[in-house]
């Protein structure tokens, strides 16, 4: 199967998109990340959810996660408000290495897609045709194709 | 000829360590290897000789303390104490700084300086964030306090461990001779902080609630481990204080404490070895072999004789030179290789003076100069470098000159007071 058969429509943002809007889109649609395109609508990079968290959570809490336990919900809200004053550009890593962009051509095979995801440890890849983004493939969509008929596993009981 | 080659190899390795052209561990091991190739050092000289070999007391004391810190870190006790103390100040900025630097100094006296600032910096950033204060003055003050506090005890700073081992000095010798001056220096340092960082103390009453909302009890990760660790730490401190009477080396006290904590904590090896800095331990080994080679070929002995002749019985002059000279050198180069090299020379001077009340203070001059001199510049001490790195990662860059502007003032004032202390206590 080719990438064009697996691709799904995907929200596309630019570096100037409001960071809060981007994060809310990710949360509302339960997406692992978003595709960032430049002004010419060419893929620029992927914004994974983990980058949003890295922006929200100060480095000192990342160094010492146990310290976060001392903070209450008001403090958490205060941290999240940092998104309102920011754009997607602020969330992206400072040095953009375009060679590292998780992008595949629409003709790529499913194993090619898997290889790119594995190499770049990306939860999704953008699919392009004629240099235009036509959507994305998430890791769950890819695994669903590679490993059909997955058994239903028992879930942890809710408390 | 062999003496010249040995000195040349030593100087070459030393230059590499000082300039950091290659990693200091690689430089020290290369220096040690050169001594072996030159035929100066063999297994007997490197591993088993008390005079020229690797000082295993230093290595195992460091290892034991690193394991103890690894276990203590798992408890969250440092975060708890820092948040609890900051809340007692009810958000008043200067009082908060006093609390944090005091905790840093006390912790540094008991633990390695770098470990202390690594533990205190995140919680400092949190407190400053809550109070909407600029964290840079607080972080700089903590680095400076860690270097001052670490001077107080045998285990507070690696140079002190080397001095203790070379000079046959006990934990109590350090407590009696250095802890009193460190207490005075901390009082003066806090006064200096009030002046140096005066623009940082802007009080915002609206932010106090954000600080008071922090719940320090939540950061205790394992209450049972905290209690066990506390008991073992107290036992280790008692062991250090009583090690002379018990005829047990501080290194063995630390290893026994580490072993007890490992057994009681039931942590996995990656956890109880987390804070063990293997590169530092290997660096020490290479360094000891390099210095041991100089002793073996007689260079240190002859230098010692020259110094002994030059000093005569003018021990105040020698202490003054050692204090200020060590401070200047430690401001620009790592104080560990400096003290490892100079300690055998000081040993010769002290022995020539028959270990008299006038000669023995040379050890304290060396410790005060080497430990406090590190405050003078941004690269003078490992704690400074670590704090600057943490600040940069959190979006608060501290330039070399920014740090040095404050550090140099603190270094000059604390060393001047230390000189007065040495003069008053030992030479009047």
Nearest 5°: CA angle at B241, between B237 and B244? 135
- Answer whether residue A156 is part of any domain: no
**Statement: residue B120 has pLDDT above 60:** yes
Torsion angle of the four alpha carbons B85, B87, B91, B92, in this order, in degrees rounded to the nearest 10: -40
Q: What is the reported pLDDT for B381?
A: 86
> What tokens were used for B115?
């470990």
Query: Quick one: average pLDDT of B25-49?
Result: 91
- Alpha-carbon span B362 to B32, nearest angstrom: 28
Q: List the 65-94 stretch of B: residues with Cβ below 8 A of A.
A: 76, 79, 83
Q: What is the reported pLDDT for A158?
A: 67
Any chain A CB within 8 A of the CB of B125?
yes
**Statement: residue A10 has pLDDT above 60:** yes
Q: Do A67 and B79 touch (CB under 8 A)?
A: yes
- Alpha-carbon span B166 to B53, nearest angstrom: 12
Average pLDDT of chain A? 86
Average pLDDT of chain B? 90
- Alpha-carbon span B368 to B411, nearest angstrom: 10
Mapped onto helix, strand or coil, the DSSP state of residue A8 is: strand
Q: Do B215 and A72 touch (CB under 8 A)?
A: yes
Any chain A CB within 8 A of the CB of B210?
yes
- Answer whether residue A154 is part of any domain: no
DSSP H or E run through A105: strand A103-105
- Alpha-carbon span B241 to B229, nearest angstrom: 18
Positive or negative, the Cα torsion across B235, B239, B242, B248?
Answer: positive
A-B Cβ pairs (cutoff 8 Å, strict): 55
| Closest residue to A59, CB basis, from B123, B221, B394 | B394
Q: What is the reported pLDDT for A107?
A: 94
Spatial neighbors of A70 by CB under 8 A, at least 6 apart, are B79, B83, B126, B214, B215, B216, B218, B219
- The answer to whether B164 and B244 have CB atoms below 8 angstroms apart is no
- Answer whether residue A157 is part of any domain: no
Any chain A CB within 8 A of the CB of B393?
yes
- Alpha-carbon span B354 to B344, nearest angstrom: 15
**Statement: residue B267 has pLDDT above 70:** yes
Neighbours of B124 (CB within 10 A): 29
> What tokens were used for B368?
């005060």
Residue B192's nearest CA partner among B152, B146, B150, B144 is B144
Residue B381's nearest CA partner among B193, B194, B196, B159 is B159
- The answer to whether B216 and B87 have CB atoms below 8 angstroms apart is yes
**Statement: residue A96 has pLDDT above 60:** no
| Closest residue to B213, CB basis, from A60, A64, A75 | A75
Q: Residue B138: which pLDDT band, with cuts at 50, 70 and 90?
A: very high
Chain A residues with beta carbon closer than 8 angstroms to that of B390? 59-60, 63
DSSP B346-400: HHHHHHHTTT-TTTTHHHHHHHHHHHHHTTSSTTSSHHHHHHHHHHHHTT----H
| Closest residue to A74, CB basis, from B123, B213, B216 | B213
Q: Do B122 and A67 touch (CB under 8 A)?
A: yes
- Answer whether residue A155 is part of any domain: no
For residue range B203-219, what is the model confidence (pLDDT) as tens digits? 888 888 888 999 989 88
Residue B154's nearest CA partner among B169, B135, B171, B140 is B171
Can you give the CATH number for the domain in which A79 is found?
3.10.580.10
Domain count, chain A: 1
For residue range A12-46, what is the model confidence (pLDDT) as tens digits? 899 999 999 999 999 998 888 898 888 888 888 88
Min Cα distance B271 → chain A (Å) is: 15
- Answer whether residue A103 is part of any domain: yes
- The answer to whether B250 and B154 have CB atoms below 8 angstroms apart is yes
Residue B375 to residues A108, B146, B177, Cα–Cα distance (Å): 59, 9, 21
Q: Of A98-107, A131-140, B253-262, where does mean pLDDT reach its minimum?
A: A98-107
- Answer whether residue A142 is part of any domain: yes
Max mean pLDDT range (A122-136, B128-142, B375-389): B128-142
Min Cα distance A86 → chain B (Å) is: 15
For residue range B280-298, what is the model confidence (pLDDT) as tens digits? 889 889 988 998 898 888 8
Residue B257's nearest CA partner among B399, B373, B111, B363 is B111
Mapped onto helix, strand or coil, the DSSP state of residue B194 is: helix
Positive or negative, the Cα torsion across A92, A93, A94, A95?
Answer: negative
Max mean pLDDT range (A94-108, B105-119, B180-194): B180-194
Query: Quick one: average pLDDT of B134-147?
Result: 96
Q: What is the reported pLDDT for A94?
A: 66
- Give percent above pLDDT 70 in chain B: 100
- Comparison of pLDDT for B357 and B99, the residue scoring more: B99
What domain range includes position A23? 3-146
- Alpha-carbon span B65 to B67, nearest angstrom: 5
Q: What is the reported pLDDT for B340?
A: 87
DSSP H or E run through B342: helix B335-352
- The answer to whether B190 and B101 have CB atoms below 8 angstroms apart is yes
Positive or negative, the Cα torsion across B402, B407, B412, B417?
Answer: positive
Q: What is the reported pLDDT for B341?
A: 87
Q: Do A63 and B390 touch (CB under 8 A)?
A: yes
- Answer whether residue A45 is part of any domain: yes
Mapped onto helix, strand or coil, the DSSP state of residue B312 is: coil
> What tokens were used for B55?
């000082």
Total residues found in chain B within this entry: 428
- Answer whether residue A93 is part of any domain: yes
Residue B287's nearest CA partner among B5, B33, B1, B2 is B33
| Closest residue to A70, CB basis, from B216, B390, B394 | B216
Chain A residues with beta carbon closer than 8 angstroms to that of B126? 58, 60-61, 67, 70-71
Chain A residues with beta carbon closer than 8 angstroms to that of B130? 75
**Statement: residue A95 has pLDDT above 60:** no
């Amino acid at each position: 199967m080719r990438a064009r058969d697996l691709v799904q429509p995907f929200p596309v943002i630019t570096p100037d998109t409001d960071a809060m809007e981007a994060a809310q889109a990710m949360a509302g649609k339960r997406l692992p990340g978003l595709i960032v395109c430049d002004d010419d609508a060419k893929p620029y990079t992927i914004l994974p959810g983990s980058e949003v968290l890295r922006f929200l959570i100060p480095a000192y809490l990342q160094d010492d996660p146990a310290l976060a336990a001392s903070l209450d919900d008001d403090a958490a809200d205060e941290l999240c408000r940092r998104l309102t004053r920011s754009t997607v550009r602020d969330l992206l890593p400072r040095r953009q290495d375009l060679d590292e962009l998780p992008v595949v051509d629409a003709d790529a095979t499913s194993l090619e897609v898997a290889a790119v995801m594995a190499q770049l440890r990306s939860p999704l890849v953008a699919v392009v045709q004629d240099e235009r983004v036509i959507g994305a493939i998430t890791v769950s969509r890819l695994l669903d194709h590679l490993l059909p008929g997955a058994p239903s596993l028992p879930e942890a009981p809710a408390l | 000829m062999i003496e010249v080659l040995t000195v040349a190899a030593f100087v070459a390795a030393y230059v590499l360590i000082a300039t950091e052209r290659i990693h200091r561990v690689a430089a020290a091991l290369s220096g040690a290897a050169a001594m072996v190739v030159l035929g100066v050092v063999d297994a007997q000289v490197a591993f088993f000789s008390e005079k020229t070999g690797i000082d295993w007391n230093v290595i195992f004391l460091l290892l034991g303390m690193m394991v103890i810190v690894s276990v203590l870190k798992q408890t969250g006790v440092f975060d708890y104490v820092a948040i609890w103390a900051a809340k007692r100040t009810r958000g008043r900025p200067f009082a908060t700084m006093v609390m944090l630097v005091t905790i840093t100094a006390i912790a540094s006296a008991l633990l390695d300086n770098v470990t202390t600032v690594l533990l205190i910096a995140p919680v400092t950033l949190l407190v400053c964030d809550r109070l909407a204060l600029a964290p840079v003055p607080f972080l700089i003050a903590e680095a400076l306090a860690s270097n001052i506090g670490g001077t107080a005890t045998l285990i507070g700073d690696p140079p002190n461990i080397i001095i203790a081992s070379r000079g046959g000095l006990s934990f109590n010798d350090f407590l009696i001779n250095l802890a009193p001056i460190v207490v005075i220096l901390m009082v003066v340092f806090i006064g200096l902080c009030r002046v140096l960082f005066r623009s940082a103390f802007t009080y915002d009453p609206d932010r106090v609630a954000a600080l008071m909302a922090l719940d320090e009890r939540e950061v205790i990760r394992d209450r049972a481990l905290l209690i066990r660790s506390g008991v073992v730490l107290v036992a280790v401190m008692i062991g250090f204080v009583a090690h002379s009477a018990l005829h047990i080396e501080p290194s063995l006290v630390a290893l026994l404490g580490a072993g007890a904590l490992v057994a009681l904590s039931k942590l996995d090896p990656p956890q109880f070895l987390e804070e063990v800095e293997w590169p530092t331990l290997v660096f020490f080994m290479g360094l000891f072999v390099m210095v041991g080679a100089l002793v073996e070929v007689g260079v240190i002995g002859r230098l010692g004789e020259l110094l002994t002749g030059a000093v005569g019985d003018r021990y105040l002059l020698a202490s003054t030179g050692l204090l200020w000279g060590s401070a200047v050198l430690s401001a620009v180069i790592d104080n560990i290789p400096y003290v490892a090299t100079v300690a055998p020379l000081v040993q010769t001077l002290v022995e020539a003076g028959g270990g008299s009340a006038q000669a023995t203070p040379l050890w304290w001059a060396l410790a005060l100069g080497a430990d406090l001199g590190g405050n003078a510049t941004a690269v003078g001490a490992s704690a400074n470098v670590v704090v600057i790195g943490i600040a940069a990662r959190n979006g608060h860059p501290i330039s070399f000159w920014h740090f040095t502007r404050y550090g140099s003032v603190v270094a000059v004032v604390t060393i001047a007071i230390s000189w007065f202390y040495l003069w008053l206590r030992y030479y009047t």
